[in-house]
Structure 1
């Protein structure tokens, strides 16, 4: 299966190459943060690749004075011991902060600038940028300077104004909508100039329309990959029918990750890349043809 429209084959070439090589791609949620390594930093992203990840997922926001950084807002208290939302801070304030590690001990690590991350990983690493759809004009202007359209996959909801912006933007960055309904998918596919390469399906149960094998097959027929989230944000939020990291680690990987493979999911987001990479090797090695 070739992903994307023929007119965007050059931009989508690295994605297709990775899918050909691995069958199922592992997207690592905010990198791998263990011990003294902090999420959404270059060390965490390096670790994710060393642990078997194929794609890096990062969160990007803009300071009040226009600088782009990696951080998932809402995590300020946990990671920075700050009560204010980081989006309300200027770059001077942000760069005065240092991270706290998993033992709540202050580290020397600072919030990373996006430009430093792009410069470090320019090459053949796929990068999924999340939570930046409200700043696409600033973000895409920066991305253009780095000539990384073949590496970047933008993620965003099916919002008319944002879709129109991407549809009209000259550089055809790969785009993956977040779909909560069939209507979301139809909305996105109505824009003729979007370089849609896949769809992130959010399904809170096995009965949800977006969980069904027929839909996954239809998306494949449209030359789109299917992304499912194995990440477990908490005990209550269900992202894809509870076929998740918790089920796989606590119980049996065949009951979580294995069922995602069986459903022909193409990209799986995880917090456990090493375990899932080992499982993928066993699963595909047992004759699974994706």
Structure 2
């Protein structure tokens, strides 16, 4: 059972899915391609059709306080916009339209967080990323949707933010992004956070967080282990190159398969259908 006993009712959906699937597939920004754009309802629909279990979404706030689903830093590629979206008002954001996978203009616009939450209420686990700097505004908005059993917040180990979660009345599931053993210890200090799992960042197999005894210790604390298999580029290594590229270009046994062997509970990927097929054969 994942999480503390006092939060069992909140964590029930997560635990049900882990029991049912064994290993869960978290889909990075949904499944874009062609005329379907990342971080949109169609991309998330595609992810679910490809057997994804968790939708990863990026949330930002406009200058006038409206919450949107978008990964800032991608404005030029996706919107042909030079300014960071966080510096724009909602009227400007809603006048922008997406470019598709080959750079052609579409009629599709940046979606509000409210619309995406309502589209997937009661259906699927949702991991909210890159929003830790706006939790003060985000969490009250999440409260309005009554989706506490679906939302997994993600964020770095920053004491000010951990203190906020520790004192916040609604106990959303939380997964810290961990880069060191010390960060695990810091996170465990906060007893009133609904801590459900840990994302481990390890740049090599020699990294302390890659070691089996560390993974076992995390799981012995009734927490899941999340490994990020996505390839952001050729330089960034998120979990010792046990990643999508290795799995697809070489052999899934060398990437995803080793994550299975290390008893990882959740794998984040850009290729849910291929990973799901591998999981189905691996777990049989």
Contact 1:57 1:130 (8 Å CA) reproduced: yes
Aligned twin of 1:153: 152
Is structure 2 residue 38 aligned with structure 1 residue 58? no
Q: Give the match's secondary structure for 1:119.
A: helix
Matches within 5 A, 1:26-65: 26-65=25-64
CA distance in 2, matches of 1:52, 1:245: 16
Q: Give the match's secondary structure for 1:268.
A: strand
1:91-111 deviations in Å (ceiling 9; x for gaps): 000000000001100001100
Contact 1:14 1:124 (8 Å CA) reproduced: no
Q: CA deviation at 1:124?
A: 2.9
CA distance in 1, matches of 2:209, 2:69: 30
1:171-193 deviations in Å (ceiling 9; x for gaps): 00000000000111111100010
1:146-203 deviations in Å (ceiling 9; x for gaps): 1100000000001010000000000000000000001111111000100000000000
Unaligned runs of 5+ in 2: none
TM-score by length of 2: 1.00
Q: Give the match's secondary structure for 1:127.
A: strand
Unaligned runs of 5+ in 1: 286-290
CA distance in 1, matches of 2:196, 2:183: 15
RMSD: 0.4
Is structure 2 residue 127 aligned with structure 1 residue 89? no
Aligned twin of 1:288: none
Q: CA deviation at 1:269?
A: 0.1
Aligned twin of 1:208: 207
CA distance in 1, matches of 2:85, 2:182: 33
Aligned twin of 1:143: 142
CA distance in 2, matches of 1:133, 1:57: 14
Contact 1:203 1:238 (8 Å CA) reproduced: yes
Is structure 2 residue 103 aligned with structure 1 residue 120? no
Q: Give the match's secondary structure for 1:204.
A: coil
Matches within 5 A, 1:148-227: 148-227=147-226
| Count of residues in correspondence between the two structures | 284
| Runs of 4+ in structure 1 over 3 Å off | none
1:48-89 deviations in Å (ceiling 9; x for gaps): 000010000000010000000000001001000011100000
1:231-276 deviations in Å (ceiling 9; x for gaps): 0111111000000000001000000000000000000000000000
Q: CA deviation at 1:137?
A: 1.1
CA distance in 2, matches of 1:137, 1:121: 23
CA distance in 2, matches of 1:233, 1:263: 22
Q: Give the match's secondary structure for 1:128.
A: strand
